[in-house]
Amino acid sequence: MKLKKNIATSGEGFIFNPGNGDSFSTNEIGTEIIGMLKDETPPQTIIETICAKYDVDQNQFERDLDDYLSQLKDYTILE
């Protein structure tokens, strides 16, 4: 799971795909995940990092992450 090279992101959760002009907003945790995807962090590490930082059930977060990643893929943000 890797963010496409040309995707532009901001610390405020704005995502811009210059290939097709799409732009999106994501929330704080979404922004953190995008940041980790940018650094090519594997999903397991993302899960561990987020679960250690926030009070969240791991199973629930794994499902949420799956949804989020498939959304990003649908929007052609991931490679």
CB nearer to other proteins: give 22 or 57: 22
* CB of residue 66 to other proteins, shortest distance in Å: 23
Residue 9: count of CB within 10 angstroms of its CB: 18
Q: Are 79 and 2 in contact (CB under 8 A)?
A: yes
**DSSP conformational letter for 54:** S
In sequence order, which residues have a C-beta less than 8 Å from that of residue 12 and are 6 or more positions away? 31
Q: Are 19 and 76 in contact (CB under 8 A)?
A: yes
* CB of residue 6 to other proteins, shortest distance in Å: 6
x/- letters, 5..44, toward other proteins (CB under 8 A): -x-x-------x-xxxx-----------------------
CB nearer to other proteins: give 11 or 21: 21
Interface ranges with other proteins (CB under 8 A): 6, 8, 16, 18-21
